[in-house]
Amino acid sequence: MLPPSSEREPRRKRIDFGMVILIFIAVAGGLGVWLLRGPERFFAILGEDALLILKIGPKILAAMLLAAWMRLLMSEQAVARWFGRGAGWAGFARAYAGGAILPGGPMTAYPIAAAFGRAGADIGATAVFLASWMLLSLNRTIVWEMAFIDYDTVLQRLLITLPVPILIGLVAQATGRPSFADMAEGERR
């Protein structure tokens, strides 16, 4: 039996304004390739894109499932206690460490950040998590940077960027924006 309509979560838009813009750009780009380079080049690019979708599609699906399962397995109280506004500097430190050690690309990080945010993490801690993942990723640093760039340059970049995730988190909190959980609660009303 469904809950009363006032208690159900609102329907989400399937296509938002950002999606419309992306579709427009993709169609315009495809049309440009067709007109300037011909249908052969258009279909070659389309085939390459299809292979890319087949390659990354399973990764995106796995990351989204992981994020959904994490949200179901972790109680909102635990997330709020560890990463909520009341967690203070310790919440920032956990988010900072989590972002730095998280392997994988955006297909992993963004669904996890969204799941934490929806489960009650503070917007500042979520911003720290994402900034730490973007700037301090140990996986990227060890596998890519240290393989191609001299160690002194890598160390200098790391030292320069160490405080940045915390600063981003503080700015996110200072903007007065609500947490993801507050926004989700507002959507439910």
Asked if residue 106 lies in contact with residue 56, where contact means CB atoms within 8 angstroms, the answer is: no
Q: Mention every residue, 6+ apart, whose C-beta is less than 8 A from residue 129.
A: 83, 95, 96, 98, 99, 109, 112, 113, 116, 121
Determine the pLDDT at residue 158.
Answer: 94
User: Rounded distance, CA 165 to CA 33, Å?
Assistant: 40
Determine the pLDDT at residue 1.
Answer: 47
Question: How far separated are the first and last CA of the chain, in Å rounded?
Answer: 20
Determine the pLDDT at residue 94.
Answer: 93
Determine the pLDDT at residue 114.
Answer: 86
Determine the pLDDT at residue 87.
Answer: 84
Determine the pLDDT at residue 107.
Answer: 78
Residues of the chain predicted below pLDDT 70: 1-15, 71, 176-189
Would you list the domain boundaries of the chain? 58-188
Determine the pLDDT at residue 45.
Answer: 94
Determine the pLDDT at residue 183.
Answer: 52
From the centroid of its chain, how far is CA 28? 27
For residue range 106-140, list pLDDT tens digits in order. 878 888 888 888 888 899 999 999 999 999 999 88
